[in-house]
Structure 1
Amino acid sequence: MLRRKRVIEFYEIPYSEVYKNKTVSLPIALQLIIMNNGSLTQNFNSITGKKIQIHLIKQKTQKNQEIIRQVWIKENLHKLAFAESYWKKNNIQKNNIINNKPIGQSIILNEIDVYKEIKSIHYGYSYNLEKKFKVNTPLWSRKYTIWYNKKPLTIIQEFFSICLSKNSNTNRITN
């Protein structure tokens, strides 16, 4: 599954390098979100203490039978993240991924045993996302693959609002 880049990146960190070098500085809240292999919406819930909602923006099927799903992850009116996922059509149907629920919740409800492999972390600019987040600063994002039965189930890229780091100290990533 090859993707067109929609972000002008000026810094990409291969995930495997983050733990080796420990030279990347991230705000504490972003460390929890970006480095964690668990449920994104549950992590947001832990940080904000509030119910997290998914707002499905678009889900369309490409000619190659690949489905692109775009969602806003929100707490009330605050946009916390934008996520775009890429699925083979039969993966969604076969595994009953629910459109209006978080992917992690669908995986848990359907008792699907998966492995999340974070590929890279990005720090860069996206005019459209900055406009939607109502910020004029670079954004942090991560890209990962969710594996099921040793095959890729989906590829996901998530972009995070800078509001997560406004009240956090910047610390080095540590094990």
Structure 2
Amino acid sequence: MPGAWQLMLLGDGSPTRHLSLLTGYEVKIELIAMESDLSPVKNAPKEVNELKHPLLRRQVWLQCGSQTLAWAESWWNKNEAEHHLKNKNQPIWQSLTQGRSELFREVDGLALVKAEWLENKFKIKGPFWSRHYRFFRHERELTVIREVFSPELEEWLGSSGREQIEYL
């Protein structure tokens, strides 16, 4: 995987901040859903099981200008979500860093994903790079986040190498 994509997918910086710096546009959130998740989706990252119930699941599109550059979903303990996500249309990173308290991010997995609904929104054929990670605060899991990135990011980051990897 090329270096710029390694930084984007494996780095511990904010993807919304990176998207803004790359494109020159503020990241806008299109909220898809934010609701109780009584039984996490069957393909949810296993780390979701480490969160205290009841759970809340949030899904968003990340847009810069007229481009949709990522889809993200996150799982939260419902009380934590109510405390940290007061503005539902604000990127998570902004919500969590307003009080300047320290966070630790741990990337737990990378994948290439293919889904027709992603292809329709991104207006390009998959597969797409995806990652999931956890935020920790005070040595405990705060949230699990999964992101899927549009290949349009290749405009700024160069080739992602996704074409050379056999998709299973």
* Pairwise same-fold verdict (TM > 0.5): yes
RMSD: 2.0
Matches within 5 A, 1:108-123: 108-123=97-112
Q: Which moved more, 1:66-75 or 1:103-112?
A: 103-112
Q: SS of the counterpart of 2:126?
A: coil
The number of equivalent residue pairs is: 146
Task: Note the C-alpha offset of 1:89.
Answer: 0.5
1:98 aligns with 2:80: no
CA–CA distance in structure 2, aligned partners of residues 170 and 94 of structure 1 = 36
Q: Residues 54 and 108 from structure 1, CA distance in 2 versus in 1: closer, same or farther, beyond 3 angstroms? A: same
How big is the shift at 1:151?
1.2
CA distance in 2, matches of 1:132, 1:42: 22
Q: Name the % identity.
A: 31
Match of 2:8 in 1: 33
Query: Greater share of strand residues, 1 or 2?
Result: 1
Call closer, same or farther: CA 1:27–1:162 in 2, change over 3 Å: farther
- Structure 1 segments unaligned to the other structure (5+ residues): 1-24
Query: CA, structure 1 residues 31+48, in 2 after alignment: closer, same or farther (shift >3 Å)?
Result: farther
Change (3 A) 1:41 1:170: closer
- How far apart in 2 are the matches of 1:143 and 1:59? 18
1:148 aligns with 2:137: yes
* Residue correspondence of structure 1 range 1-175 to structure 2 within 5 A: 25-26=1-2, 28=4, 30-63=5-38, 65-166=54-155, 168-169=158-159
Q: CA deviation at 1:169?
A: 4.5
C-alpha separation in 1, matches of 2:2 and 2:126: 15
Q: Deviations over 1:45-68 (max 9, x none)?
A: 111122221111110113452110
Q: Decide whether the 8 Å contact of 2:115 with 2:126 is kept in 1.
A: no
Taking CA–CA contacts closer than 8 Å with sequence separation of 6 or more, which of the two structures ends up with the larger relative contact order? 1
- In structure 2, give the amino acid aligned to 1:127: E
CA contact (8 A) 1:66 1:89 kept: yes
Unaligned runs of 5+ in 2: 39-52, 162-168
Q: Compute the TM-score of the two structures, normalised by the length of structure 1.
A: 0.75
Distance 1:72 1:170, change over 3 A: closer
AA in 2 matched with 1:34: L
Rate the CA distance shift 1:97–1:155 in 2: closer, same or farther, 3 A. Answer: farther
